[in-house]
Structure 1
Amino acid sequence: MKIKQFLKTLGPGILFASTAIGVSHLVQSTKAGAEYGFGLVGFIIAANLFKWPFFEFGSRYAAATGQSLIDGYQKISPWFSRLYLGINLVSMFFVNAAVSLVAAGFLQNLFNIELAAIYFFVPSVVLLLFSFSFLALGRYSLLDSGIKIIGSFMFVSTLLAFFIAIFDGPKVPIQNFSIFAHLTPHSLPFVIALMGWMPAAIDSSTWNSLWTIARSKQSGYAPTVKESVFEFNIGYWISATLSICFVVLGAFLLFNTGNLLPDNNVAFATGVVNLYTAQLGSWTFIIIAAAGFSIMLGTCIGVMDGYARSTARVIAVMRNQEEKQSDYLLWLVLITLGGMLVIGLFMASFNQLIGLATTISFLIAPIIAMLNYKLIFSQHLTKKQQPGKAMQWLSIAGIGFLFLFSFVLIYFNWFQ
């Protein structure tokens, strides 16, 4: 691929990575290393590997057809579109509230903001309103430009802290480096929550297809399937690699030290920032705190855009109408208000909200995975546009993996 063509294609994969490197990485991966050492690395690798085809399918389908996965769902059966809309409505408010709450913690940490308990919701509401304004005014163009800067900054700072941590070694020697060490049956709820958003919720695969189309319109260049998939894979595997980096930071700096990351969004953000400054020096606080907040802000904006964009699109497709900008703006408003309501209900329990949002994502993942598989290996794509046999078998294994752990979660929660 020529550099000029690549730069015109570049955007959706980086946007995906920057959106993913949020709660699943900063919160869940760091906590996994802090509490279990390397015990959950195998699950993180498995989640990244088995979810990969279904995210890749979003970029592949958009490049091949010029349409989103959502349009494809409608072509196969109108019931698929209705199912997807239901999934969006169930998850969007919880997910937006969760990422806004985490981002609010990093905001308060960055500016050393202390608020009375009665006002703790204010920073989250401010961030929801900022995300709304950002998207209402700038839409995809501003999102694409801003996220590239934010993502690059966090990528460099994370790798720097990771390599320094490796050089210095763990604070407390880790006796057993087995990926199955330190696990108990009580670990299951956290493992499911960890994999639910690792590296992101599978229903966000439709966002990739929508972002691919939006980027093509913005740049005036229609990438080939190969170009689009290559660009997405760069972003995806950057995200997957950084998830392991966060596990290592948690394991090396917190595991077996007696120090745990708190069950509070502000205190948690402080703990994560301290992981970096412990390695890089106290003088780096402002850089690391700003990077942590920036990437969470990017996640807030990306998630809100994804849900608003996909919900507006699926309703337009179901009505067989042209999508209007007013539809997108309407859903931005509803998501903002719904996120505020959920934050008000769960403000007192940070981990409970994160666990609920990630668990919902994991339970609906097999459904979206099957829809994407059916769509990609249908008559809508030519054999040349479809992935090879290895990817097909990996996607089948991925569906089995997602169903298996969904059944385990249901059994654990309702029959034990």
Structure 2
Amino acid sequence: MFTKFNQILKNLGPGLMYAGAAVGVSHLVSATKAGAVYGFLLLIFIPLIHIIKYPFYKFGPQYTAITGKNILHGYRALGKWALFTYMGMTIITMCLIQSAVTIVTASLALKIFGSSIPTNYAAIIVLLIAASVLFFGKYSLLDKLMKIVILTLTVTTIFALLAILFKGTNDAQEVAAPVFQFGNLSDALFLAAFLGWMPAPMDITVWHSVWAEEADRSSGKKANVKQAMFDFKIGFIGTACLAMCFLALGALVMYGSGETPSPKGTVFAGQLIELYTDSLGSWAYPVIGVAALATMISTTLTCLDAYPRTLDESVLILKNEKEGSERKVDSKNIYRLFLSITVAGTIIIFLFFMKNMGQLVTLATVVAFVSAPILALINYLVINGKTIDAENKPSKLMKTWSILSIICLFTFSIWYVWIRFVK
């Protein structure tokens, strides 16, 4: 049995990278806070948003398995506008999102290890360590680290949930009632952010495709569609289950406890660990601490890899086309250049714009909401475009599913912008 499990784990790669990027602030902070504030009321929205986003998340690795190339090649086949749209959105948000996930990681590390280092300096240290892993280790080391981190995260999260279920909940939860009103601005904004970042921004569809191509290149063999879809479903379904676990943890431990969840993700993460410890006992501190820290380390690493890697691929596609060459040039220096730019931009935010982090995250959130339906539509056009042969194009059911999902995403995006800036 162990040998079989080890073989399955060995064959997994891009799916776990996807999970590492997806399971972060959206799970540890947003999902847990959803349970802490509203109980189990919002639980149904987690599988619902996964169903809506499923086709477009699937199209990324599916495209690579069919063509042997990442989906950015399909973007270019549609026209430069598609590739430049992705690059523009990435450049606008990469340092903002990277700073948000890294600051939560650093805050958790400070809380767990009891250090008094200023949070922004701790975040810089975390960022530089992550960058060093990527700068020298590249994909192969990241792939190995993600398998360890995701396995640790899954085991500790499930263990914590089972421990709380066996122990039972506090009496305050029996008289408390979840209150959520779509007409209430704060409730609507919370739901919008919760669903918009669940399980991750739509950019991750491109990231997954690029990681799949890199995994093929590293292993020296191309994964077939069946293997790629199995790997994808492990990551996709796994992150959905973990999101429901985190919401359940928040509902069972914090809901009705009298503790008001902090609106700041960095503070809330610390509250979470303390409440787990109060509820379960001091023995739970390292378990919850490891789960929380593993969550954010995985997100910090994978996001920091994804932004420069996808920009690197975009530049190479344009460069090879301009030079009239099908041969892929060495991308190491281009990747490291974009990695350095991402790190430098994020450090600048830590040093000079920490007081404006709220506004910067809002900007990134708005761009993510606006870009989600656009990237979903581009992915749909690519998988139905000229680079995919007829037998590998989506079925009528998947096409209908995709169109309905695109309509939902555009409607959701417009609704978010309206409640944020108009209402």
1:233-272 deviations in Å (ceiling 9; x for gaps): 1111100011111111111211232212324455322222
1:75 is displaced (CA, Å) by 1.0
Question: Within 2, Cα distance between the matches of 1:65 and 1:122?
Answer: 44
Residues 273 and 387 of structure 1, relative CA distance in 2, 3 Å threshold: farther
Provide Cα deviations, 1:48-102, integer angstroms capped at 9, x if missing partner. Answer: 2111111111110001101111111001111111111111111111110110011
Are positions 1:220 and 2:220 aligned together?
Answer: yes
**1:278–1:52: structure 2 CA closer, same or farther, 3 Å change rule?**
farther
- 1:183 positional shift: 5.1
State how far apart, in whole Å, the 1-side matches of 2:173 and 2:318 are: 57
Between the aligned partners of 1:246 and 1:355, the Cα distance in structure 2 is 23
Whether the aligned pair in 2 keeps the contact of 1:161 and 1:279 (CA below 8 Å) is no
**What is residue 199 of structure 1 aligned with on the other side?**
199
Query: Where does residue 105 of structure 2 map in the other structure?
Result: 103
| Alpha-carbon distance between aligned partners in 2 of 1:96 and 1:266, rounded to the nearest angstrom | 14
Report the CA distance between 1:324 and its aligned residue: 1.9
* Counterpart residue number, 1:36: 38
| Aligned residue number for residue 389 of structure 1 | 396
* Structure 2 SS opposite 1:87: helix
Within a 5 Å distance, the mapping from 1:67-106 to structure 2 comes to 67-106=69-108
Distance 1:173 1:219, change over 3 A: same
Which one is further off, 264-273 or 71-80? 264-273
Matches of 1:58 and 1:41, distance apart in 2: 27
Q: What is the CA distance between 1:273 and its match in structure 2?
A: 1.9
Does 2:383 correspond to 1:376? yes
Q: Which residue of 1 aligns with 2:48?
A: 46
Q: 1:348 to 1:31 in 2, by over 3 A?
A: farther
Look up the match of 1:326: 333
Change (3 A) 1:4 1:258: closer
What amino acid sits opposite 1:288 in the alignment?
I
Query: Which one-letter code corresponds to 2:238 in the other structure?
Result: I
- State the distance in 1 between where 2:89 and 2:388 align: 25
Q: Report the counterpart of residue 346 of structure 2 in structure 1.
A: 339
SS of the residue 1:201 aligns to: coil
Aligned to 1:65: 67
CA contact (8 A) 1:36 1:183 kept: no
Q: Equivalent residue for 2:132?
A: 133
Q: Output the amino acid matched with 1:17.
A: A
Report the more deviating stretch, 65-74 or 264-273: 264-273
Output the amino acid matched with 1:414: F
Call closer, same or farther: CA 1:167–1:360 in 2, change over 3 Å. farther
Report if the CA contact (8 A) 2:107-2:119 is conserved. Answer: no
Partner of 1:303: 303
Q: Which amino acid aligns with 1:358?
A: T
Determine if contact 2:372/2:409 at 8 Å carries over to the other structure: yes
Task: Say whether the 8 Å CA contact 1:9–1:223 is kept in structure 2.
Answer: no
**Equivalent of residue 364 in structure 2, options 341, 345, 357:** 357
Structure 1 residue 23 displacement after superposition:
0.6
Q: Distance in 1 between matches of 2:396 and 2:177?
A: 34
Matched, 1:402 2:409: yes
Paired with 1:89 and 1:245, the residues of 2 have a C-alpha distance of 33
| Pairwise CA distance, 1:165 | 2.8
Deviation at 1:45, TM superposition (A): 2.5
- Compute the displacement of 1:400 (Å): 1.1
1:128 deviates by: 1.2
Q: State the distance in 1 between where 2:88 and 2:232 align.
A: 27
- Residue 193 of structure 1 contacts residue 355 of structure 1 at CA under 8 Å; is this kept in 2? no
- The answer to whether the Cα contact below 8 Å between 1:6 and 1:231 also exists between their aligned partners in 2 is no
**Aligned-pair CA distance for 1:275:** 4.3
Comparing 45-54 with 338-347, which one deviates more in the overlay?
A: 338-347
DSSP-derived class of the 2:283 partner = helix
Between the aligned partners of 1:383 and 1:169, the Cα distance in structure 2 is 55
Aligned to 1:166: 165
For structure 2, the 5+ residue unaligned runs are 324-328
How far is 1:389 from its partner?
Answer: 3.0
Rate the CA distance shift 1:65–1:90 in 2: closer, same or farther, 3 A: same
Q: TM-score, normalised by structure 1?
A: 0.92
State whether residues 316 and 323 of structure 1, in contact with CA within 8 Å, keep that contact through their aligned partners in structure 2. Answer: no
Secondary structure of 1:412's counterpart equals helix
Partner of 1:281: 281
State how far apart, in whole Å, the 2-side matches of 1:362 and 1:58 are: 19
The one-letter code matched in structure 1 to 2:71 is L
Aligned residues: 411
Question: Using a 3 Å threshold, how does the CA distance of structure 1 residues 356 and 219 change in structure 2: closer, same or farther?
Answer: same
Question: Please, what is the CA RMSD of the aligned residues?
Answer: 2.3
Q: Is the 8 A contact 1:54 1:373 kept in 2?
A: yes
CA distance in 2, matches of 1:17, 1:37: 25
Q: Secondary structure at the match of 1:121?
A: helix
